[in-house]
A and B are shown apart, each in its own frame.
Chain A
Amino acid sequence: MSFTLLGILNSQAAGGGALPAYDLLQTIEPTTNPASITFSGLGSYTDYKHLQIRAEMQGSRDDNLDIRFNGDSSSSYWIHYIRGTSGALNAYGNGAYNKIEFGEAFADDFTGVEYDNYAPMILDIADFSSTNKRTTIRAIHGQVNPDRAELKLSSGVWRNNAAVTSIYLGLNGGTITSNSRFSLYGIKG
Chain B
Amino acid sequence: MTTPTYDLLASTTLSSAASSVQFSSLTTLASGYRDLIISADIGDTNSDYVYVQVNGDTSTNYSDVTIENTQAQQRQRVLNKIPISWSGTTVAPGQRTHLQFYIFNFATTTIQKTFLQRAGYSGSKTIFGVSKWHSNAAMQSIRFAHDGSGNFIAGSTFNLYGVVA
Contact across chains for B18 and A151 when beta carbons are under 8 A apart: no
Contact of A5 among B17, B23, B131 (CB under 8 A): B23
Inside 8 A of B59's CB, which chain A residues have their CB? none
Partner of A4, one of B22, B29, B71, B128: B22
The chain B residues found within 8 Å of chain A, CB to CB, are 2-6, 8-14, 16-25, 28-29, 34-35, 63-67, 70-74, 76, 102, 104-105, 110-116, 118, 128-132, 134, 136, 145, 151, 157-160, 163-165
B134 touches A114 (CB 8 A): yes
Residues from chain B with Cβ under 8 Å of A80 in the complex: none
Neighbour of A84 across the interface among B24, B25, B63, B67, CB < 8 A: B67
User: 23 A-B pairs, CB-CB below 8 angstroms?
Assistant: A5-B21, A5-B160, A7-B9, A10-B13, A13-B12, A21-B6, A22-B4, A23-B2, A24-B2, A84-B128, A88-B72, A89-B70, A117-B114, A117-B132, A120-B102, A120-B115, A140-B128, A150-B65, A181-B34, A181-B105, A183-B34, A185-B5, A185-B163
Q: Is A96 an interface residue (CB 8 A)?
A: no
Which residue of chain B has the shortest Cβ distance to A2 in the bound complex? B20
Q: Which A residues are CB-close (under 8 A) to B111?
A: 116-118
CB-contact partner of B66 in A4, A22, A84, A143, under 8 A: A84
Known: A89-B71, A144-B65, A144-B114. A6 touches B165 (CB 8 A): no
Q: A117-B132, A181-B165 are in contact. Are A9 and B76 (CB under 8 A)?
A: no
Residues in B whose Cβ lies below 8 Å from that of A10: 11-13
Task: For the complex formed, measure the closest distance between the CB of A141 and the CB atoms of chain B, giving whole angstroms.
Answer: 8
Residue-wise, chain A 101-145 has the 8 Å CB interface mask toward B (1 for contact) of: 000000000000110111111100000000000000000111110
**Which bucket holds chain A's interface residue count?**
35 or more
Complex contact A1–B35 (CB within 8 A): no
Q: How far is the CA of A140 from the CA of B17 in the complex (A)?
A: 33
Inter-subunit contact A25/B2 (CB<8 Å): yes
CB 8 Å contact bits of A1-43 with B (1 = contact, 0 = none): 1111111111011010000111111010000000000000000
Query: CA–CA, A87 to B73, complex, Å?
Result: 6
A186 contacts B by Cβ under 8 Å = yes
Minimum distance in angstroms from B81 CB to a CB of chain A: 15
Nearest-neighbor residue (CB-CB) of B4 within chain A: A20
Contact of A50 with B by CB under 8 A:
no
Question: In the complex, how many angstroms separate the beta carbon of A132 from the nearest chain B beta carbon?
Answer: 26
A143 B4 Cβ-Cβ under 8 A: no
The list of the 10 closest CB pairs from A to B, nearest first, reads: A84-B72, A142-B130, A13-B11, A20-B4, A22-B6, A84-B67, A7-B29, A86-B74, A2-B20, A24-B3
* B11 contacts across to A, CB distance below 8 A: 9-10, 12-13
Interface string of A35-70 (1 = CB under 8 A from B): 000000000010000000010100000000000000
